[in-house]
Amino acid sequence: MARLFEMNSLSVSYGGDPVLENVNFYVEENDFIGVIGPNGGGKTTLLKVILGLLEPISGKLAFNNKLLNSRSIGYLPQISTGDLNYPVTVMDVILSGLMIRKSTLSRMSSGDKKKAFSVIDELGIRDLANTSLNELSGGQLQRVFLGRALIGDPRLLLLDEPGNFVDSTFENDFYEKLKDLNSRMAILMVSHDVGTISQHIKSFACVNRSLHYHPSHEITNDDLFAYGCPIQLIAHGVVPHTVLKIHQ
């Protein structure tokens, strides 16, 4: 399968020690990758590099220009980045996802609004179009921000801890939605919850300064080397689970 981008011996730092070191990684079309690892391990940093917000100190990131450019990436940040009390409507937030294709001067056309409504319908939040953000529940907010990421028809969708928005009862719907989307785009989902992760995920990247990529489901002994201490996984037989290869 064709690769959307490749990272070669890439290192990133915020001025001190590298946060990511010597990372080799790639994402294939229609892959659904779970990025797991401890807090502060560099998961969000990995997303920032892909988004072009951070320049690597060494190594490089190369997009496959036929399939991907910086305008065809959708991004769902952690819930905390926007001001949820800001006077802005659901429609406005979703339209803002189109700014990635627009200049600072351009206006929203009726075609853009139509596009926004089709996304709103797809996510089942039509009645909320003119609602102000501060009136929404966590699950609704998650859909709105997902809508913002989807309106530009991305080839690659980056999700930063989407589970933080909602309690687990809403989570199932959300992952089902992601499974649908995965037929149209590759998904890279960061999660700090290493115990459980959606079963729709096809492959894993374990990030803790270094990155270990497990291209598809593997069954060997243990994977938790990246966490720096011996850990044992406990699971009942009926729960689907994945055991990854030991990191080299």
Partner 1 sequence: MEQNIFQYDFIIKGLLGALFASITAGFAGTYIVSRRMVFLSGGITHASFGGIGIGYFIGINPVLGAAIFGIFSALGVEYLSSRQKIREDSAIGILWAFGMAIGIIFIYLTPGYSPNLMSYLFGSILTVSLADITALGVMSVVLILYFIIFYRTILYISFDESYARTYSSYVDIFKYITTSLIALTIVLNIRMAGVVLVLSLLTIPPNIAMIFTRVYLRIVLWSVVAGFVGTATGYAISYFAGLPVGATIIFTLVIIWVIVKSFSLISLRIKEMNKSRKR
* Residue 96 lies near partner 1 (rule: CB under 8 A): yes
Q: Under rule CB under 8 A, which residues in 179-238 are in contact with partner 1?
A: none
51 binds partner 1 (CB under 8 A): yes
The CA distance from 56 to 53, in Å, is: 10
**CA dist., res. 32 & res. 29, Å (int):** 9
Distance CA 91, CA 144 (A): 9
Stretch that binds partner 1, among 48-56, 197-205, 228-236, 240-248 (CB under 8 A): 48-56
Dist. CA 119–CA 135, nearest whole Å: 20
Residue 149: what are its φ and ψ, rounded to 5°? -75, -25
| Burial classification of residue 248, based on how many CB atoms lie within 10 Å of its CB (0-12 exposed, 13-18 middle, 19 or more buried) | exposed
The nearer residue to partner 1, 67 or 99, going by C-beta atoms, is: 99
* Binding status of residue 147 toward partner 1 by CB under 8 A: no
Sign of CA dihedral 245, 187, 74, 87: negative
Nearer to partner 1, 115 or 214 (CB): 115
Query: Which one of 79, 108, 129, 224 is in contact with partner 1 (CB under 8 A)?
Result: 108
Q: Is 100 in the site for partner 1 (CB under 8 A)?
A: yes
User: Is residue 75 part of the contact set for partner 1 (CB under 8 A)?
Assistant: yes
Task: Please state the closest distance from residue 211 (CB atom) to partner 1, in A.
Answer: 21
Kindly state the smallest distance separating residue 71's Cβ from partner 1, in Å.
8
Q: Taking contact as CB under 8 A, which single stretch among the options 8-16, 27-35, 115-123, 130-138 is the one that binds partner 1?
A: 130-138
Query: How near is the Cβ of 131 to partner 1 at its closest, in Å?
Result: 9
- Rounded least distance, CB 175 to partner 1, Å: 23
Strand 203-208 to strand 3-13: parallel, antiparallel, or no bridges (unpaired)?
unpaired
Three-state DSSP class for 169? helix
Q: For residue 123, what are the CA distances in angstroms to 78, 101, 117, 118, 150?
A: 19, 22, 10, 9, 10
Contact residues: partner 1, CB under 8 A:
51-53, 71, 75, 77, 81-83, 86-89, 92-93, 95-96, 99-100, 104-105, 107-108, 130, 132, 134, 148
